[in-house]
């Protein structure tokens, strides 16, 4: 016989007794089952081998009979692992339930019972417990021959196969699909889910534990999401490893689905990017097919266009940059902007269109909507910083390119703000174009780095540069800078004294102060040289 026998709880979880109910002694369901026999008479129970489960027909025993208490006592003394009998038509006496609980002897009621059929159904799994695991694996293999259509389809199929609640969560522990109760048990596992090299894990106890398995589109990369399964009750034996393997099969199948969706999305992104390049570079020579394609995407070519470029200022390891485009599209739609962000080398570009020219000094509610959208995405991904630039309004197909270039320059300015959800607006008449041109010059950025080099030499963490930038942003107010940095004003002044000693510039001089202020904005940004 297998060295790890199956338990009565595991046998019941296989679904071999439809409609069964545990009426008492549930704490004994973890007992190993050595034999399943047909019970002929209550008084013969002492003759049964320890570890047996006695199955009685309705003519021999009903669980509300007076003989049940005697059967429970005899079974407990004989070391039986449970009694299965006809479900009572009346409520089982409380004294019987309490006796079964005290002896940890499971009483299982079945509406319609044929003892010989129960023995026949249970016997293969008792003789060879590994068959139970093979049954689970076979069911999972059947259900996941093809990748599931989505996360909810995976949850439904895996729940049916392993008989346990299932949830799908992302790398930041947010519930994507499945059982909220399983998700609630994840408290404290967020760090593990965000690991760069994730591995399957088991947590908790038998009754409240979880099995965690990563879904990886790239086997050497981070998890795109996690499958979380309630650990099988009494799952320290024969079913635990097969269930782990079953979850691995489901994870691999879902990874194929994710990879397939990524390929389709990448193909569509490339098509959009090529079309946008054509619009930006050859606005007067668009072919009919390109116009049809733009129309199908909902891109308007006529009217006055205001372009927006979104860039990433800081990207935490747990966030996949390739997925941000889809999230941007979804979030902008939630904020009343049904747009199609197109991925480019420096970020994502889209534009809004109106029939009449907008006030060049005021892009209306666009700045507010873009800022709120970026803030909402950042709130979902701690450590993520986004910024955006908004161009002026320009007419016709050629106007898309002109506005997009201004949006790119404005995005450069937004990156220099060194804060989350920064949004800048620029147009032909904006004085900020001068700043964008300055920041866009590699030679001047190099001069800025040299100017601040003494600070970096003594403080590689960049704390002194951040303090200097914040101090100048706050119009040389130590109190205001301290509030922004979360430190006391005296600490700000102490740092500024140190900075004044190191800098080859006089902050009391207007020209020097302006140069230093611009330099602090330019450093610490990964500039696009295109």
Which sequence spans correspond to the domains of the chain?
8-128, 132-258, 298-439, 442-522
CA distance 196 to 292: 43
298-439 carries CATH number 3.40.50.300: no
- Full-model pTM: 0.52
Closest listed residue to residue 231, CA positions, set 198, 252, 204, 192? 204
pLDDT tens-place string over residues 337-364:
888 888 888 889 999 888 876 655 456 6
Taking the C-alpha atoms of residue 50 and residue 183, their distance in angstroms, rounded to an integer, is 40
Q: What CATH number was assigned to the domain covering residues 8-128? A: 3.40.1390.20
Between 43 and 365, where is the model more confident? Answer: 43
Q: What CATH number is given for 132-258 in this structure?
A: 3.30.450.40
**Domains 8-128 and 132-258 equal at CATH topology level:** no
Q: What is the pLDDT of residues 104-159, one digit of tens each?
A: 999 999 988 889 999 988 888 888 777 766 777 788 888 888 889 889 999 998 88
Give 368-413 pLDDT, tens digit per residue. Answer: 899 999 999 998 888 888 999 998 888 988 999 999 988 988 888 8
| Residue 87 DSSP code | P
Q: What is the DSSP letter of 354?
A: E
Residue with tokens 């009494």: 234
CB 106 within 8 A of CB 82: yes
Yes or no: domain 442-522 corresponds to CATH 1.10.10.2840:
yes
Give 322's pLDDT tier (boundaries 50, 70, 90): low
pLDDT in tens, 19-74: 899 999 998 988 889 999 998 888 899 999 999 999 998 888 887 777 889 999 99
The angle formed by the CA atoms of residues 231, 232 and 234, to the nearest 5 degrees, is 115
CA distances from 3 to 33, 71, 135, 206, 505 (A): 12, 29, 19, 20, 80
């Amino acid at each position: 016989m297998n060295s790890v026998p199956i338990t009565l709880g595991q046998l019941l979880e296989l679904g071999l007794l439809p409609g069964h109910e545990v009426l008492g002694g549930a704490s004994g369901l973890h007992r190993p089952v050595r034999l399943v026999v047909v019970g002929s008479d209550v008084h013969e129970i002492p003759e049964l081998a320890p570890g047996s489960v006695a199955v009685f027909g309705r003519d021999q025993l009903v669980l509300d009979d007076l003989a049940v208490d005697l059967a429970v006592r005899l079974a407990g003394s004989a070391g039986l692992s449970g009694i299965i009998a006809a479900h009572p038509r009346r409520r089982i006496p409380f004294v019987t339930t309490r006796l079964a609980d005290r002896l940890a002897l499971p009483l299982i009621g079945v509406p319609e019972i044929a003892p010989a059929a129960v023995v026949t159904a249970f016997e293969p799994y008792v003789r060879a417990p590994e068959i139970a695991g093979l049954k689970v694996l076979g069911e999972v293999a059947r259900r996941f021959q093809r990748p599931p259509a989505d996360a909810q389809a995976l949850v439904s199929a895996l729940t049916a196969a392993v008989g346990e609640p299932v949830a799908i969560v992302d790398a930041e522990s947010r519930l994507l699909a499945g059982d909220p109760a399983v998700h609630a048990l994840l408290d404290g596992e967020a760090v593990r889910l965000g690991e760069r090299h994730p591995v399957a894990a088991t947590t908790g106890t038998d009754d409240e534990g979880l099995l965690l398995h990563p879904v990886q589109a790239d086997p050497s990369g981070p998890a795109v999401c996690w499958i979380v399964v309630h650990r099988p009750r009494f799952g320290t034996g024969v079913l635990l490893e097969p269930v782990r393997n079953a979850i691995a099969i489901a994870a691999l199948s879902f990874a194929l689905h994710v990879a397939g969706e990524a390929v389709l999305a990448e193909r569509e992104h490339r098509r959009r990017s090529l079309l946008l390049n054509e619009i930006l570079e050859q606005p007067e020579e668009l072919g009919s097919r390109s116009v049809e394609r733009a129309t199908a995407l909902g891109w308007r070519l006529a009217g006055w266009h205001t372009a927006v470029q979104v860039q990433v200022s800081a990207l935490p390891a747990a966030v996949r940059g390739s997925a941000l485009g889809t999230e941007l599209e979804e979030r902008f739609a939630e904020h009343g902007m049904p747009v199609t962000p197109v991925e480019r080398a420096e970020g994502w570009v889209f534009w809004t269109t109106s029939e009449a020219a907008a006030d060049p000094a005021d892009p209306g509610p666009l700045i507010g909507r873009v800022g709120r959208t970026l803030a909402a995405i950042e709130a979902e991904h701690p450590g993520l910083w986004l910024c955006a630039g908004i161009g002026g309004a320009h007419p016709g197909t050629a106007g898309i390119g002109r506005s997009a270039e201004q949006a790119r320059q404005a995005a450069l300015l937004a990156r220099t703000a060194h804060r989350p959800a920064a949004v800048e607006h620029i147009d032909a008449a904006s004085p900020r174009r001068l700043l964008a041109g300055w920041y866009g010059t590699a030679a001047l950025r190099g001069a800025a780095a040299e100017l601040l080099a003494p600070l970096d030499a003594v403080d590689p963490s960049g704390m002194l540069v951040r303090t200097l930038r914040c101090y100048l942003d706050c119009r040389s107010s130590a109190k205001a800078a301290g509030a922004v940095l979360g430190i006391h004003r005296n600490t700000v002044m102490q740092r500024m004294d140190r900075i004044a000693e190191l800098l080859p510039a006089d902050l009391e001089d207007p020209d020097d102060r302006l140069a230093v202020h611009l330099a602090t904005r330019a450093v610490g940004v990964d500039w696009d040289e295109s």
